[in-house]
Structure 1
Amino acid sequence: MNSQRSLNKLINSDIGGGYSSQPVATPELTDDASADTLIEDASAELYPTLPPVTVKKHSPDFISQRLKVRQIAETRLLHLADELSKLADEVRYHHPLMAEILDEAWDATEEALTLMSDGDA
């Protein structure tokens, strides 16, 4: 009996989500128009509309933020390329196939760096 009470307490408190004891609409009152308004009301509550972000692409803040992001990405790519090259050199003798794959990954980082520099031009 004790286990049944604790089980009921556990089930009632652990159920996620919310519910309303009031019916949203009664079956007699639903028609196409009222169903559409109910759906619109529900979606309005779930997904509030936010004002659009207005950032001017030529503003100094936007340009400086974009430059910072590019510098971080370039630094990380250079570090990754260096690590891939070192790892490929370490495993080249024991696992030539793995070293070849690491070399291809290194080539991909070089290609990414080239694409980033082409984007600056």
Structure 2
Amino acid sequence: MTALLLVRRVPPGRLDLTRATAQQWNDGLARDATLQWWELVDPAADDAHPAAALAAVRNDDAVVRLAGLATPPGRRDRAVQVLMALVDALRATSARTLEAAPSADLLTILRDAGFRPGPDGREVVEL
């Protein structure tokens, strides 16, 4: 049976685990202390269990900017899943747009998660 995975903003007590997990999957992303982290987790797992995928954003009220994703190697499906869940979660906030600056390898993931071309070469989702 596959576990139900939900997205949530990383609670302060899990930030050290989150950064350690991100360091394994995306070291550069893990070093930025200014990011807001969201995690895809099994809600039945204990707090010592690492996330299934991570998304890091910069938030300025109306526009949320995707800083990066961290997933286990080869788990493109988890990257899409965390982005789709993040979009749903952000719809309950004051944010109106989620945007990303796509790299060549990220573009397909963004498109699969519902992003579309926006201004300045960015990919966007209207919330």
TM bin (shorter chain) = under 0.3
Q: 1 or 2 for the larger relative contact order (CA 8 Å, sep ≥6)? A: 2
TM-score (norm 1): 0.23
Greater helix percent: which structure? 1
> Which structure has the larger Rg?
1
